[in-house]
Structure 1
Amino acid sequence: MTGTQQHVLILGGTTEGRGLAEALAGEPAARWRVTSSLAGLVAAPRLPPGEVRTGGFGGTGGLVRWLREHAVDVVVDATHPFAETMSAHAAAAAAATGVPLLGLRRPGWTAGPGDRWHMVDSAEQAAALLPALGGRVFLTTGRTGLAAFAGDAGRWFLVRSVDAPGPPHPPRMEVVLDRGPFTHDGERALMTRHRVDVLVTKDSGGAATAPKLAVARELGLPVVIVRRPPAPPGVPAVPDVAGALEWLRAGR
Protein backbone atom coordinates (compact mmCIF):
# COMPACT_ATOMS: atom_id res chain seq x y z
CA MET A 1 0.00 0.00 0.00
CA THR A 2 1.39 3.37 -1.01
CA GLY A 3 0.72 6.68 0.70
CA THR A 4 -1.80 7.64 -2.01
CA GLN A 5 -5.43 7.87 -0.96
CA GLN A 6 -7.38 4.80 -2.03
CA HIS A 7 -10.95 5.09 -3.30
CA VAL A 8 -12.97 2.23 -1.82
CA LEU A 9 -16.44 1.47 -3.18
CA ILE A 10 -18.52 -0.45 -0.64
CA LEU A 11 -21.56 -2.16 -2.08
CA GLY A 12 -23.49 -1.97 1.14
CA GLY A 13 -26.91 -1.82 2.71
CA THR A 14 -25.91 -4.29 5.42
CA THR A 15 -24.63 -4.02 8.97
CA GLU A 16 -21.21 -5.16 7.73
CA GLY A 17 -21.09 -2.57 4.97
CA ARG A 18 -21.96 0.22 7.37
CA GLY A 19 -19.45 -1.13 9.91
CA LEU A 20 -16.65 -1.14 7.35
CA ALA A 21 -17.44 2.44 6.31
CA GLU A 22 -17.37 3.49 9.96
CA ALA A 23 -14.05 1.73 10.55
CA LEU A 24 -12.43 3.34 7.50
CA ALA A 25 -13.81 6.75 8.52
CA GLY A 26 -11.94 6.36 11.81
CA GLU A 27 -8.60 6.07 10.02
CA PRO A 28 -6.54 8.98 8.62
CA ALA A 29 -8.53 10.72 5.87
CA ALA A 30 -5.49 10.76 3.61
CA ARG A 31 -5.60 6.98 3.41
CA TRP A 32 -9.15 6.22 2.32
CA ARG A 33 -11.90 7.81 0.29
CA VAL A 34 -15.03 5.78 0.93
CA THR A 35 -18.17 5.65 -1.19
CA SER A 36 -21.02 3.42 -0.03
CA SER A 37 -23.58 2.35 -2.61
CA LEU A 38 -27.09 1.45 -1.38
CA ALA A 39 -29.67 -0.30 -3.51
CA GLY A 40 -32.46 2.08 -2.47
CA LEU A 41 -34.90 -0.68 -1.51
CA VAL A 42 -35.46 0.71 2.00
CA ALA A 43 -37.26 4.04 2.37
CA ALA A 44 -35.17 5.33 5.29
CA PRO A 45 -31.87 3.42 5.43
CA ARG A 46 -29.28 3.88 8.13
CA LEU A 47 -26.66 5.88 6.29
CA PRO A 48 -22.95 5.11 6.75
CA PRO A 49 -20.31 7.83 7.04
CA GLY A 50 -18.58 9.08 3.93
CA GLU A 51 -20.02 9.53 0.45
CA VAL A 52 -23.26 7.69 -0.26
CA ARG A 53 -24.94 6.92 -3.59
CA THR A 54 -28.34 5.27 -3.94
CA GLY A 55 -29.78 3.15 -6.73
CA GLY A 56 -28.51 0.66 -9.25
CA PHE A 57 -25.67 1.13 -11.71
CA GLY A 58 -27.49 -0.15 -14.77
CA GLY A 59 -26.00 -3.63 -14.88
CA THR A 60 -22.41 -4.71 -15.32
CA GLY A 61 -21.71 -2.14 -18.02
CA GLY A 62 -22.95 0.71 -15.85
CA LEU A 63 -20.81 -0.43 -12.95
CA VAL A 64 -17.76 -0.69 -15.20
CA ARG A 65 -18.28 2.91 -16.31
CA TRP A 66 -18.79 4.09 -12.73
CA LEU A 67 -15.60 2.42 -11.52
CA ARG A 68 -13.59 4.08 -14.28
CA GLU A 69 -15.22 7.51 -14.10
CA HIS A 70 -14.75 7.70 -10.32
CA ALA A 71 -11.25 6.20 -10.23
CA VAL A 72 -12.18 3.39 -7.84
CA ASP A 73 -9.16 1.48 -6.53
CA VAL A 74 -10.96 -1.39 -4.78
CA VAL A 75 -14.50 -2.73 -4.39
CA VAL A 76 -15.90 -4.47 -1.32
CA ASP A 77 -19.11 -6.40 -1.95
CA ALA A 78 -20.88 -6.17 1.39
CA THR A 79 -24.36 -6.65 -0.03
CA HIS A 80 -26.94 -8.97 1.50
CA PRO A 81 -26.10 -12.67 1.03
CA PHE A 82 -29.18 -12.94 -1.21
CA ALA A 83 -28.24 -9.99 -3.47
CA GLU A 84 -27.18 -12.49 -6.12
CA THR A 85 -27.53 -10.21 -9.13
CA MET A 86 -25.50 -7.35 -7.66
CA SER A 87 -22.72 -9.71 -6.59
CA ALA A 88 -22.57 -11.17 -10.10
CA HIS A 89 -22.38 -7.69 -11.61
CA ALA A 90 -19.60 -6.74 -9.18
CA ALA A 91 -17.56 -9.82 -10.10
CA ALA A 92 -17.96 -9.21 -13.82
CA ALA A 93 -17.13 -5.49 -13.52
CA ALA A 94 -14.05 -6.21 -11.42
CA ALA A 95 -12.83 -8.71 -14.00
CA ALA A 96 -13.42 -6.22 -16.82
CA THR A 97 -11.61 -3.35 -15.13
CA GLY A 98 -8.94 -5.13 -13.10
CA VAL A 99 -10.19 -3.45 -9.93
CA PRO A 100 -9.64 -5.77 -6.93
CA LEU A 101 -12.85 -7.13 -5.40
CA LEU A 102 -13.44 -8.55 -1.93
CA GLY A 103 -16.59 -10.25 -0.70
CA LEU A 104 -17.60 -9.38 2.86
CA ARG A 105 -19.91 -12.27 3.73
CA ARG A 106 -21.23 -12.92 7.22
CA PRO A 107 -21.33 -16.67 7.98
CA GLY A 108 -24.61 -18.47 7.61
CA TRP A 109 -26.47 -19.99 10.54
CA THR A 110 -25.75 -23.52 11.76
CA ALA A 111 -28.36 -25.85 13.23
CA GLY A 112 -27.81 -27.09 16.78
CA PRO A 113 -29.35 -29.67 19.10
CA GLY A 114 -33.12 -29.31 19.25
CA ASP A 115 -33.46 -27.39 15.99
CA ARG A 116 -36.14 -28.60 13.58
CA TRP A 117 -34.82 -27.05 10.41
CA HIS A 118 -36.02 -27.73 6.88
CA MET A 119 -33.54 -26.40 4.31
CA VAL A 120 -34.90 -25.43 0.88
CA ASP A 121 -33.51 -23.73 -2.21
CA SER A 122 -36.27 -21.18 -2.86
CA ALA A 123 -39.26 -19.38 -1.42
CA GLU A 124 -41.45 -21.53 -3.65
CA GLN A 125 -40.09 -24.68 -2.04
CA ALA A 126 -40.67 -23.14 1.37
CA ALA A 127 -44.30 -22.41 0.47
CA ALA A 128 -44.79 -26.00 -0.70
CA LEU A 129 -43.67 -27.34 2.70
CA LEU A 130 -46.01 -25.25 4.82
CA PRO A 131 -49.20 -27.36 4.59
CA ALA A 132 -47.38 -30.16 6.42
CA LEU A 133 -45.85 -27.92 9.08
CA GLY A 134 -48.32 -25.40 10.45
CA GLY A 135 -51.13 -22.95 9.95
CA ARG A 136 -49.77 -19.77 11.57
CA VAL A 137 -46.59 -18.70 9.85
CA PHE A 138 -44.00 -16.13 10.94
CA LEU A 139 -42.61 -15.04 7.57
CA THR A 140 -39.33 -13.08 7.70
CA THR A 141 -38.12 -13.33 4.11
CA GLY A 142 -38.53 -9.60 3.42
CA ARG A 143 -41.28 -7.68 1.66
CA THR A 144 -40.01 -8.56 -1.81
CA GLY A 145 -40.28 -12.30 -1.18
CA LEU A 146 -44.02 -12.62 -0.56
CA ALA A 147 -45.17 -13.57 -4.06
CA ALA A 148 -44.35 -17.25 -3.48
CA PHE A 149 -46.90 -17.33 -0.63
CA ALA A 150 -49.61 -15.23 -2.31
CA GLY A 151 -51.68 -18.22 -3.33
CA ASP A 152 -51.84 -19.72 0.16
CA ALA A 153 -55.28 -18.96 1.54
CA GLY A 154 -55.13 -21.82 4.01
CA ARG A 155 -52.62 -20.28 6.36
CA TRP A 156 -52.34 -17.05 8.36
CA PHE A 157 -49.07 -15.13 8.02
CA LEU A 158 -47.28 -12.75 10.35
CA VAL A 159 -45.07 -10.76 7.97
CA ARG A 160 -42.21 -8.64 9.28
CA SER A 161 -40.41 -6.13 7.07
CA VAL A 162 -38.77 -2.73 7.28
CA ASP A 163 -41.22 -1.14 4.83
CA ALA A 164 -44.81 -2.07 4.10
CA PRO A 165 -45.12 -4.81 1.47
CA GLY A 166 -47.16 -4.43 -1.68
CA PRO A 167 -48.99 -7.10 -3.64
CA PRO A 168 -48.82 -9.91 -4.41
CA HIS A 169 -48.91 -11.19 -0.84
CA PRO A 170 -50.79 -13.78 1.22
CA PRO A 171 -54.50 -13.00 1.54
CA ARG A 172 -54.51 -13.58 5.31
CA MET A 173 -51.68 -11.70 6.95
CA GLU A 174 -50.71 -9.17 9.57
CA VAL A 175 -47.71 -6.91 8.95
CA VAL A 176 -45.20 -5.82 11.58
CA LEU A 177 -42.91 -2.99 10.48
CA ASP A 178 -39.60 -3.31 12.31
CA ARG A 179 -35.89 -3.73 11.76
CA GLY A 180 -33.19 -5.51 13.74
CA PRO A 181 -31.37 -6.04 15.88
CA PHE A 182 -34.03 -8.05 17.68
CA THR A 183 -33.94 -9.43 21.21
CA HIS A 184 -34.71 -12.90 22.49
CA ASP A 185 -37.43 -11.66 24.82
CA GLY A 186 -38.97 -9.54 22.10
CA GLU A 187 -39.06 -12.39 19.61
CA ARG A 188 -40.55 -14.77 22.15
CA ALA A 189 -43.27 -12.28 23.07
CA LEU A 190 -44.10 -11.67 19.40
CA MET A 191 -44.24 -15.33 18.45
CA THR A 192 -46.27 -16.44 21.48
CA ARG A 193 -48.70 -13.53 21.23
CA HIS A 194 -49.51 -14.45 17.64
CA ARG A 195 -49.49 -18.20 18.33
CA VAL A 196 -46.93 -18.84 15.61
CA ASP A 197 -46.42 -22.53 14.86
CA VAL A 198 -43.85 -22.36 12.02
CA LEU A 199 -41.08 -19.92 11.10
CA VAL A 200 -39.93 -19.19 7.53
CA THR A 201 -36.73 -17.24 6.93
CA LYS A 202 -33.65 -16.93 4.76
CA ASP A 203 -30.15 -17.95 5.79
CA SER A 204 -29.08 -14.33 6.19
CA GLY A 205 -26.70 -15.12 9.05
CA GLY A 206 -25.55 -12.65 11.67
CA ALA A 207 -26.62 -11.95 15.23
CA ALA A 208 -29.13 -9.16 14.57
CA THR A 209 -31.94 -11.46 13.44
CA ALA A 210 -30.81 -14.77 15.00
CA PRO A 211 -32.91 -14.62 18.23
CA LYS A 212 -36.00 -15.87 16.36
CA LEU A 213 -34.16 -19.14 15.69
CA ALA A 214 -33.37 -19.63 19.37
CA VAL A 215 -36.98 -18.91 20.29
CA ALA A 216 -38.23 -21.40 17.69
CA ARG A 217 -35.92 -24.00 19.24
CA GLU A 218 -37.26 -23.31 22.72
CA LEU A 219 -40.86 -23.52 21.54
CA GLY A 220 -40.21 -26.66 19.51
CA LEU A 221 -41.30 -25.00 16.25
CA PRO A 222 -40.28 -26.14 12.77
CA VAL A 223 -38.18 -23.64 10.82
CA VAL A 224 -38.03 -23.47 7.03
CA ILE A 225 -34.79 -21.84 5.88
CA VAL A 226 -34.04 -20.77 2.31
CA ARG A 227 -30.42 -21.53 1.43
CA ARG A 228 -28.15 -18.79 0.14
CA PRO A 229 -27.41 -18.55 -3.55
CA PRO A 230 -23.78 -19.38 -4.40
CA ALA A 231 -21.30 -16.52 -4.32
CA PRO A 232 -19.48 -15.65 -7.56
CA PRO A 233 -16.52 -18.01 -8.07
CA GLY A 234 -12.97 -16.76 -7.74
CA VAL A 235 -13.79 -13.80 -5.48
CA PRO A 236 -11.84 -13.75 -2.19
CA ALA A 237 -14.10 -13.38 0.82
CA VAL A 238 -13.86 -12.60 4.53
CA PRO A 239 -16.51 -13.15 7.23
CA ASP A 240 -16.32 -9.84 9.08
CA VAL A 241 -15.23 -6.20 9.11
CA ALA A 242 -11.94 -7.05 10.83
CA GLY A 243 -11.03 -9.37 7.98
CA ALA A 244 -11.92 -6.73 5.39
CA LEU A 245 -9.78 -4.13 7.16
CA GLU A 246 -6.84 -6.53 7.27
CA TRP A 247 -7.22 -7.25 3.55
CA LEU A 248 -7.42 -3.56 2.66
CA ARG A 249 -4.48 -2.54 4.85
CA ALA A 250 -2.34 -5.30 3.40
CA GLY A 251 -2.75 -3.75 -0.03
CA ARG A 252 -4.64 -6.80 -1.33
Structure 2
Amino acid sequence: MSILILGGTGEAMALARALAPDSRFAPLLSLAGRTKNPAPPPIPWRCGGFGGAAGLAAFLATHQFAAMIDATHPFALQISANARKAAAIAGVPLLTLTRPPWIAKPGERWTIVRDLAAAAQALGPKRRRVFLTIGRQDLLPFRAAPWHHYLIRSVDPPDPAFLPPDCDIISARGPFSEDDERALLASRAIEILVSKNSGGAMRAKLDAAQALAIPVVMIARPPPPASGPVVTDRDGALAWLGRLHDAKRGV
Protein backbone atom coordinates (compact mmCIF):
# COMPACT_ATOMS: atom_id res chain seq x y z
CA MET A 1 0.00 0.00 0.00
CA SER A 2 1.58 3.28 -1.14
CA ILE A 3 1.69 6.05 1.47
CA LEU A 4 2.75 9.67 1.10
CA ILE A 5 4.12 11.18 4.32
CA LEU A 6 4.45 14.95 4.47
CA GLY A 7 7.33 15.30 6.90
CA GLY A 8 10.07 17.46 8.31
CA THR A 9 9.46 16.56 11.97
CA GLY A 10 10.84 14.02 14.40
CA GLU A 11 7.47 12.29 14.35
CA ALA A 12 7.69 11.85 10.58
CA MET A 13 11.17 10.39 10.89
CA ALA A 14 10.07 8.01 13.65
CA LEU A 15 7.19 6.84 11.46
CA ALA A 16 9.57 6.36 8.52
CA ARG A 17 11.87 4.19 10.65
CA ALA A 18 8.92 2.07 11.79
CA LEU A 19 7.61 1.59 8.24
CA ALA A 20 10.97 0.84 6.61
CA PRO A 21 10.92 -2.93 7.39
CA ASP A 22 7.14 -3.35 7.01
CA SER A 23 6.43 -5.11 3.71
CA ARG A 24 2.75 -4.12 3.78
CA PHE A 25 3.58 -0.52 2.93
CA ALA A 26 5.52 1.44 0.31
CA PRO A 27 6.05 4.85 1.96
CA LEU A 28 7.46 8.00 0.41
CA LEU A 29 8.58 10.83 2.68
CA SER A 30 8.22 14.34 1.27
CA LEU A 31 10.25 17.20 2.76
CA ALA A 32 9.50 20.86 2.11
CA GLY A 33 13.14 21.71 1.40
CA ARG A 34 13.55 24.43 4.02
CA THR A 35 16.59 22.67 5.49
CA LYS A 36 19.49 22.51 3.03
CA ASN A 37 21.00 19.24 4.24
CA PRO A 38 18.26 17.18 5.90
CA ALA A 39 19.10 13.95 7.67
CA PRO A 40 18.32 11.17 5.15
CA PRO A 41 15.40 8.93 6.16
CA PRO A 42 15.46 5.11 5.88
CA ILE A 43 12.74 5.13 3.18
CA PRO A 44 12.46 6.70 -0.30
CA TRP A 45 12.10 10.47 -0.10
CA ARG A 46 11.72 13.62 -2.14
CA CYS A 47 12.32 17.30 -1.45
CA GLY A 48 10.35 20.36 -2.58
CA GLY A 49 6.82 21.60 -3.05
CA PHE A 50 3.98 20.30 -5.20
CA GLY A 51 2.49 23.47 -6.64
CA GLY A 52 -0.34 23.99 -4.17
CA ALA A 53 -3.32 21.79 -3.40
CA ALA A 54 -4.04 21.01 -7.06
CA GLY A 55 -0.44 19.95 -7.66
CA LEU A 56 -0.47 17.74 -4.59
CA ALA A 57 -3.78 16.16 -5.66
CA ALA A 58 -2.30 15.41 -9.09
CA PHE A 59 0.80 13.87 -7.44
CA LEU A 60 -1.41 11.63 -5.30
CA ALA A 61 -3.40 10.47 -8.31
CA THR A 62 -0.44 10.00 -10.64
CA HIS A 63 1.44 7.82 -8.18
CA GLN A 64 -1.71 6.05 -6.95
CA PHE A 65 -1.17 6.69 -3.27
CA ALA A 66 -3.66 4.87 -1.07
CA ALA A 67 -3.18 7.19 1.94
CA MET A 68 -1.49 10.40 3.03
CA ILE A 69 -0.16 11.39 6.45
CA ASP A 70 0.39 15.03 7.31
CA ALA A 71 3.29 14.92 9.79
CA THR A 72 4.48 18.48 9.16
CA HIS A 73 5.32 21.05 11.81
CA PRO A 74 2.31 22.20 13.88
CA PHE A 75 2.84 25.75 12.57
CA ALA A 76 3.05 24.73 8.88
CA LEU A 77 -0.47 25.98 8.20
CA GLN A 78 -0.29 26.32 4.41
CA ILE A 79 0.94 22.81 3.62
CA SER A 80 -1.59 21.33 6.04
CA ALA A 81 -4.41 23.26 4.38
CA ASN A 82 -3.16 22.10 0.97
CA ALA A 83 -3.03 18.52 2.21
CA ARG A 84 -6.68 18.61 3.29
CA LYS A 85 -7.80 20.08 -0.04
CA ALA A 86 -5.67 17.66 -2.06
CA ALA A 87 -6.93 14.63 -0.14
CA ALA A 88 -10.52 15.69 -0.81
CA ILE A 89 -9.84 16.25 -4.52
CA ALA A 90 -7.99 12.94 -4.98
CA GLY A 91 -10.27 10.93 -2.68
CA VAL A 92 -7.32 9.77 -0.58
CA PRO A 93 -7.66 9.15 3.19
CA LEU A 94 -5.71 11.71 5.23
CA LEU A 95 -4.35 11.38 8.75
CA THR A 96 -2.88 14.27 10.72
CA LEU A 97 0.06 13.30 12.95
CA THR A 98 0.84 16.16 15.32
CA ARG A 99 2.63 16.16 18.65
CA PRO A 100 0.67 17.41 21.68
CA PRO A 101 1.36 21.02 22.70
CA TRP A 102 3.46 21.87 25.74
CA ILE A 103 1.67 22.79 28.94
CA ALA A 104 3.34 25.06 31.46
CA LYS A 105 4.60 23.26 34.56
CA PRO A 106 4.10 24.73 38.04
CA GLY A 107 6.61 27.51 38.52
CA GLU A 108 7.21 28.20 34.84
CA ARG A 109 6.80 31.85 33.81
CA TRP A 110 5.05 31.91 30.46
CA THR A 111 3.53 34.82 28.59
CA ILE A 112 1.31 33.27 25.91
CA VAL A 113 0.85 35.33 22.74
CA ARG A 114 -1.08 34.77 19.53
CA ASP A 115 1.61 35.37 16.91
CA LEU A 116 5.16 36.51 16.14
CA ALA A 117 4.35 40.23 16.15
CA ALA A 118 2.78 39.90 19.59
CA ALA A 119 5.86 37.99 20.77
CA ALA A 120 8.14 40.86 19.71
CA GLN A 121 5.89 43.33 21.50
CA ALA A 122 5.81 41.19 24.65
CA LEU A 123 9.57 41.61 25.07
CA GLY A 124 8.87 45.14 26.29
CA PRO A 125 10.58 48.51 25.93
CA LYS A 126 13.60 47.72 28.11
CA ARG A 127 16.68 46.21 26.41
CA ARG A 128 16.92 42.47 27.11
CA ARG A 129 19.06 39.54 26.02
CA VAL A 130 16.65 37.32 24.09
CA PHE A 131 17.02 33.71 22.95
CA LEU A 132 14.95 33.18 19.79
CA THR A 133 14.14 29.51 19.08
CA ILE A 134 11.50 30.01 16.39
CA GLY A 135 13.33 28.99 13.20
CA ARG A 136 15.07 31.08 10.58
CA GLN A 137 11.94 31.83 8.54
CA ASP A 138 10.15 33.88 11.21
CA LEU A 139 12.69 36.46 12.38
CA LEU A 140 11.43 39.51 10.49
CA PRO A 141 8.84 40.65 13.12
CA PHE A 142 11.65 41.11 15.65
CA ARG A 143 13.20 43.86 13.55
CA ALA A 144 10.37 45.95 15.01
CA ALA A 145 12.09 45.67 18.42
CA PRO A 146 15.71 46.49 17.50
CA TRP A 147 16.81 47.60 20.97
CA HIS A 148 17.09 44.01 22.22
CA HIS A 149 20.08 41.70 21.74
CA TYR A 150 19.02 38.44 20.10
CA LEU A 151 20.65 35.02 20.19
CA ILE A 152 19.27 33.07 17.24
CA ARG A 153 19.66 29.32 16.73
CA SER A 154 18.85 27.60 13.44
CA VAL A 155 20.01 24.62 11.41
CA ASP A 156 20.83 26.76 8.36
CA PRO A 157 22.00 30.40 8.38
CA PRO A 158 19.10 32.89 8.30
CA ASP A 159 18.59 35.37 5.48
CA PRO A 160 20.38 38.59 6.55
CA ALA A 161 17.37 40.61 5.39
CA PHE A 162 15.27 38.99 8.14
CA LEU A 163 17.69 39.60 11.01
CA PRO A 164 17.26 42.18 13.76
CA PRO A 165 20.27 44.51 13.89
CA ASP A 166 21.81 43.30 17.16
CA CYS A 167 22.08 39.51 17.06
CA ASP A 168 24.36 36.50 17.27
CA ILE A 169 23.74 33.33 15.23
CA ILE A 170 24.26 29.74 16.36
CA SER A 171 24.04 27.06 13.66
CA ALA A 172 23.08 23.79 15.35
CA ARG A 173 20.78 20.82 14.89
CA GLY A 174 18.93 19.31 17.85
CA PRO A 175 17.97 17.50 19.91
CA PHE A 176 19.64 19.35 22.79
CA SER A 177 19.97 18.16 26.37
CA GLU A 178 18.74 20.18 29.34
CA ASP A 179 22.31 20.49 30.62
CA ASP A 180 23.48 21.90 27.30
CA GLU A 181 20.56 24.33 27.15
CA ARG A 182 21.18 25.50 30.70
CA ALA A 183 24.87 26.07 29.95
CA LEU A 184 24.00 28.05 26.81
CA LEU A 185 21.44 30.24 28.57
CA ALA A 186 23.83 30.95 31.43
CA SER A 187 26.91 31.61 29.28
CA ARG A 188 25.00 34.05 27.07
CA ALA A 189 23.29 35.76 30.03
CA ILE A 190 19.87 35.19 28.45
CA GLU A 191 17.07 37.10 30.17
CA ILE A 192 14.05 35.83 28.21
CA LEU A 193 13.30 32.99 25.78
CA VAL A 194 10.90 33.07 22.80
CA SER A 195 9.46 29.82 21.50
CA LYS A 196 6.62 28.49 19.41
CA ASN A 197 4.47 25.92 21.17
CA SER A 198 5.72 23.15 18.92
CA GLY A 199 5.10 20.60 21.65
CA GLY A 200 6.40 17.08 22.00
CA ALA A 201 8.70 15.35 24.45
CA MET A 202 11.75 17.53 23.77
CA ARG A 203 11.27 20.52 26.09
CA ALA A 204 14.86 20.81 27.31
CA LYS A 205 15.05 24.55 26.62
CA LEU A 206 11.91 25.14 28.69
CA ASP A 207 13.18 23.05 31.59
CA ALA A 208 16.50 24.88 31.45
CA ALA A 209 14.71 28.23 31.46
CA GLN A 210 12.68 27.20 34.48
CA ALA A 211 15.80 26.06 36.33
CA LEU A 212 17.38 29.48 35.74
CA ALA A 213 14.15 31.43 36.46
CA ILE A 214 14.10 32.77 32.90
CA PRO A 215 10.66 33.82 31.62
CA VAL A 216 9.30 32.48 28.33
CA VAL A 217 7.24 34.16 25.62
CA MET A 218 5.24 31.27 24.15
CA ILE A 219 3.57 31.62 20.75
CA ALA A 220 0.28 29.73 20.91
CA ARG A 221 -0.36 26.66 18.76
CA PRO A 222 -2.68 27.15 15.78
CA PRO A 223 -6.04 25.38 16.11
CA PRO A 224 -6.15 21.71 14.99
CA PRO A 225 -7.85 20.65 11.74
CA ALA A 226 -11.60 21.11 11.74
CA SER A 227 -12.20 17.53 10.63
CA GLY A 228 -10.48 14.23 9.96
CA PRO A 229 -8.58 11.78 12.17
CA VAL A 230 -5.72 13.12 14.30
CA VAL A 231 -3.09 11.15 16.24
CA THR A 232 -0.26 12.40 18.42
CA ASP A 233 2.46 9.79 17.94
CA ARG A 234 3.98 7.15 15.67
CA ASP A 235 2.03 4.29 17.24
CA GLY A 236 -1.27 6.02 16.56
CA ALA A 237 -0.29 6.48 12.93
CA LEU A 238 0.76 2.83 12.61
CA ALA A 239 -2.55 1.69 14.06
CA TRP A 240 -4.47 3.88 11.58
CA LEU A 241 -2.44 2.52 8.67
CA GLY A 242 -2.96 -1.05 9.88
CA ARG A 243 -6.74 -0.59 9.97
CA LEU A 244 -6.72 1.01 6.53
CA HIS A 245 -4.58 -1.80 5.10
CA ASP A 246 -6.89 -4.48 6.52
CA ALA A 247 -9.97 -2.66 5.23
CA LYS A 248 -8.54 -2.52 1.71
CA ARG A 249 -7.81 -6.25 1.86
CA GLY A 250 -11.30 -6.95 3.17
CA VAL A 251 -10.00 -8.39 6.43
Q: Same fold (TM over 0.5)?
A: yes
Shift of 1:134: 6.0
Check if 1:22 corresponds to 2:22.
no
Maintained 8 Å contact 1:35/1:51:
yes
Measure the CA separation in 2 of the matches of 1:199 and 1:214.
12
Shift of 1:113: 0.7
Name the structure 1 match of 2:34.
41
Maintained 8 Å contact 1:141/1:200:
yes
Shift of 1:215: 1.1
* CA deviation profile, 1:97-130 (whole Å, cap 9, x unmatched): 2100000010110101111101111100000010
* CA deviation profile, 1:10-40 (whole Å, cap 9, x unmatched): 0001111111111011212xx1111000000
Local SS of the residue matching 2:162: coil
Letter in 2 for 1:38: L
Check if 1:13 corresponds to 2:8.
yes
Task: Give 1:61-210 correspondences, 5 Å limit.
Answer: 61-131=54-124, 135-166=128-159, 167-208=161-202, 210=203
Measure the CA separation in 1 of the matches of 2:172 and 2:119.
23
Measure the CA separation in 2 of the matches of 1:230 and 1:112.
21
How high is the TM-score relative to the length of structure 1? 0.94
Over 3 Å counting, the alpha-carbon distance change for 1:245 and 1:133 in structure 2 is: farther
Shift of 1:197: 0.4
Letter in 1 for 2:7: G
Maintained 8 Å contact 1:87/1:231:
no
Letter in 2 for 1:174: D
Letter in 2 for 1:24: L
Maintained 8 Å contact 2:127/2:149:
no
Measure the CA separation in 1 of the matches of 2:223 and 2:52.
19
Local SS of the residue matching 2:124: helix
* CA deviation profile, 1:47-84 (whole Å, cap 9, x unmatched): 21222111010000000100000000000000000110
Letter in 2 for 1:158: L
Percent identity of paired positions between Structure 1 and Structure 2: 46
* CA deviation profile, 1:152-194 (whole Å, cap 9, x unmatched): 2211000000000012211000001111110011001100000
Local SS of the residue matching 1:119: strand
**Structure 2 residues without counterparts, runs of 5 or longer:** none
Name the structure 2 match of 1:240.
233
Measure the CA separation in 2 of the matches of 1:161 and 1:235.
32
Local SS of the residue matching 1:126: helix
- Aligned-CA RMSD value: 1.2
Local SS of the residue matching 1:67: helix
Measure the CA separation in 2 of the matches of 1:11 and 1:73.
14
Letter in 2 for 1:160: R
Which stretches of structure 1, 4 residues or more, deviate above 4 A after TM superposition? none
Measure the CA separation in 2 of the matches of 1:47 and 1:125.
36
**Larger CA deviation: 59-68 vs 91-100:** 91-100
Measure the CA separation in 2 of the matches of 1:247 and 1:32.
13
Task: Give 1:196-235 correspondences, 5 Å limit.
Answer: 196-208=190-202, 210-235=203-228
Aligned residues: 244
